[in-house]
Structures are given as C-alpha cells and as structure tokens.
Structure 1
C-alpha cells in the first residue's frame, strides 16, 4: 500500500485547501500574468549551494500556526523573524505560504526575501504550476514538492516546470518507496520528513535509514521533530546535510540564539536533553 492510499483526512484536507486557494488566486490573476512577473523577479539565490556549505545547515522556517498545534505566535512579523534567523546563522529560510492550515500567504515570500540575503523556499502543498510561478514572482529561490501529495507523473511535471522557472527544488519523502521515487526523478535535494503521514508520530531514525538509499552526491535535509542540539547532532551523524526546523524556532524567545545553538551543536558537543 502506498503512502498516498493511507493519507489521513488532515493531509487530504490540506491538499484540497491548496487546490482551493490556488484556484481563487488564479481567478484574480491569470497564470500568464504571474509568469510575466516571475520573469521580472530578482535573480535566484543559490539554495542548493547554501545546503551544501560545510557543517550542518539550518533551514529556519517561518509559519504563524500549525494545523496540529494551532497558533505558534500571536505576533507574526516575518521580516523581523527572518532577520533574526539570518543573524543566528541560518543557511536558508522556509516560508509557509499555505493559508488555511498554516496562516501564511504567498506575499510573505516577498516580505522575507526583501529583508534578508538568504535563499528563500516556498513551503506549501504544491499541486499546480501556478503556485510555482507565483513563488518565483514573489522572489522565492526554491520550492518544496511533496512526493506523497502527487502522482509520479504530476511530480515529474511540476519538477520540470520549477526547473524551467530557474528554481531550486527540495523533494520531500516520508519512506523508502518515496525516497526511491525522488532519487529516480533526479532530485538533487531530498528532504526526509520524520512525521508519519498515517498517525503523525515523529521518527528521527528515518533520516539514518534513508541515507543509504540516497546517493552521496545528493543533499539530505532532515525535517520535523528537531527540538534540540542533541537532535541536530544525531541527525548530522546519521548523514543529514541540513535540518529544517520550524516549531522549535517559532516558539523560541530568542530565535537567533536558537538557530546558532542548532548550527553549532557539533562544535560544542552539547548534551542538552530534548525539550
């Protein structure tokens, strides 16, 4: 049974919401106009190179809420938060643009891109070329494609379209079969989401198990459940080139310090327990 056949209702609803939100924006601004804006957008920053930099990279995420945890902040200031993440040493930023589930908006991409010099990725359930063109039009440098949200053919179509827009791509997987799909697609950057799509439990051991399936020349980004420097150090030892961290940073009283602590976890050899 594939992960697509066991997707829980929450994930299915988030994907349906992505379709609804995209259709509403398309009705206001046609794809041809968005593609024209994308062509005039600032040059793409090298998201892939940022992930490949020496040491453990931290992709810091911006999102005002979570569909599982509810509000993560009552004072969402994307530009200010982005600057804090950059000051802490983040290698790139992930910006939630999904409105119904996460409280974000595609326009947040432009706000963040203008505030920092880091590469910016649109994180969303991308199901349509419109979202990809929209990401580039708002200044995004990369997009996330979730294997579980797409058929193989649709994944390949959207991957090719994103490449055509000059964007970098992070392909997210949740199990061995999806990792095989991502590698077969030729994905250079592969994200391992530790959250089980069936019951939403976190399995930090997944990155280590999938590393052997991913060629050494591909970048591996460990996603979800990274709560402390102990977790970051473990994932680096398991073969992760970077960690993508959202909730822990969003709840931190000092986001810059929290990013720095994760980034420097190996150097300092901290034995802090997970929060």
Structure 2
C-alpha cells in the first residue's frame, strides 16, 4: 500500500459521510465564479500559492497561520490563484479554510483535494471553489472522464494532475486546458523537477496551460520549469515557511 492508496481509502469513507449529510447541507453558492484561465496570458509566469498546514512527508509545516490572512498576503504579493488543501486526515485542511480564503480575496480559488466522487465537486462548488483538482493517477480513466465533465458542466475549471506519459494522454483525451505535472511521486513522495522536463514535450504548451507542481523552492527552479514550457507554478510548503512577498515577486518577474 502506498500513501496515495491510504489517502484514497480514507477519502472513500469521507465521501460516504458527505453523502449521508447531504440532505442537511442546503448551502447555496453565493459568490461568482472567477476564471484562472482568462488571466493566464497577462504575464509570462503565474504563481498558484497554496495554503497548506501539514503534509504526510514533512509533518506540520505551519500550524499558526490563518487562511484568510495568508491568502490576503498571497494576493497582495502577486499570486494569480490561491490553492487550498481541504483534506483533513493527511493535510489538516478543512472546507472552512476554503470559505475563509474565498471571502478574503478576489482571486480564483482552487480546491485541492483527492476527488473521487461528484459529491465532492458539489461541495467544492457550494463552498466557493472556482477550480478543482483531479488527480489522474487516483482514478480510473472512466472515473476521471466523468468527473472532469461533471465539474466543467458546473462552470468549474479543472487542474488535471499527471505523473507519467499514460496520464498525460488521458488528460489530452478530454482536451483539458489546464494540466499540472506533479514533480512529487505520490507513491514515494520524492520530488524532482526533471518530471516537468520529461513530460512537458508531450503537451502543446501553446494550447494547454502547463503548471509545474511541487518542489519549487528558488527562482532558478522557476526558470528551469519555465524553460520546459510551464506557464504557472504551484508552490505551497516554501511559501508557508517563509515570508512570501519577495518570493512571489521573484518567481514572476525578470525571468530569463
């Protein structure tokens, strides 16, 4: 059993709980959808800044930061989207974090979770998410395709996460405009930017927006993945551990 297997097993239990409580949760979406894709051509590199308290591989990252406060700092520093981890057992995140972030900023908000069922997409939409994450490696091809179309039918954008050539083909089969290459192996949790360099040539980066996820720590890292074709980087742990203002500026300006 890998860490991903354990997470998906726990997620199935969570899905059952959400379904059992669905009748009592009549929350309506009260905020407009905000597009990340509409703004993607406004600058050469975008930072998707993540609110992430904890990780299975690193333990507690920053337990004291408030989501709304961190999101406002991210927005003021030049981030283009805020990612909010809402898995609790492994990342100590909640849907309340997502709501707090959405209320604090005008940027698009990504609900980053391990989505395996449409009820999670409904929940993300109700709580104000603009974008959801679908991890191809956590789903069958049929599951992924159905969930992708379910989300886009609601007006949500989808960051499709891939880890190998087969998963890239699955993402391209639905013509996903937003594709994330995760530099972290979800089975071993080891990280390498070579993952972006290896898979990027399989993707037409003029047509599809390529996001390099995980392992981005320095401006040199951003330059490296940009050279491979990435137009955005998703950064969590690094921004949660340091003052993000200067780092986001460095990641988006004067890249060569």
Query: TM-score normalised to the size of structure 1?
Result: 0.88
Q: Partners of 1:98 and 1:145 in 2: how far apart?
A: 14
**1:219 maps onto 2:209 in alignment:** yes
**1:204 maps onto 2:197 in alignment:** no
The residue correspondences of 1:16-95 to structure 2 (distance < 5 A) are 16-30=9-23, 37-38=27-28, 40-95=29-84
Residue matched to 1:5: none
Structure 2 contact 159–178 (Cα < 8 Å) conserved: yes
Q: Partners of 2:39 and 2:66 in 1: how far apart?
A: 24
Stretches of structure 2 that go unaligned for 5 or more consecutive residues are none
**1:191 maps onto 2:183 in alignment:** no
Q: Partners of 2:187 and 2:70 in 1: how far apart?
A: 32
Any idea what the Cα deviations from partners look like across 1:67-98, whole Å, max 9, x if unmatched?
11010113030000000101110000110010
Structure 2 contact 2–188 (Cα < 8 Å) conserved: no
Residue matched to 1:273: none
* Deviation for aligned residue 1:18: 1.6
* Deviation for aligned residue 1:265: 5.3
The count of corresponding residues between Structure 1 and Structure 2 is 255
* Deviation for aligned residue 1:110: 1.1
Alignment equivalent of 2:223, drawn from 233, 242, 249: 233
SS at match of 1:125: coil
SS at match of 1:98: coil
Stretches of structure 1 that go unaligned for 5 or more consecutive residues are 1-7, 270-275
SS at match of 1:99: coil
Q: What RMSD, in angstroms, separates the aligned Cα atoms of the two structures?
A: 1.5
Residue matched to 2:108: 119
**1:153 maps onto 2:153 in alignment:** no
The residue correspondences of 1:261-272 to structure 2 (distance < 5 A) are 261-264=250-253, 266=255
Structure 1 contact 194–202 (Cα < 8 Å) conserved: yes
Q: Partners of 2:133 and 2:245 in 1: how far apart?
A: 24
Of residues 104-113 and 48-57 in structure 1, the stretch that sits farther from structure 2 once superposed is 48-57
Q: Partners of 1:162 and 1:68 in 2: how far apart?
A: 29
Q: Partners of 2:14 and 2:176 in 1: how far apart?
A: 27
The residue correspondences of 1:158-173 to structure 2 (distance < 5 A) are 158-173=147-162
SS at match of 1:154: helix
Residue matched to 1:3: none
Residue matched to 2:118: 129
Query: TM-score normalised to the size of structure 2?
Result: 0.95
Structure 2 contact 86–95 (Cα < 8 Å) conserved: yes
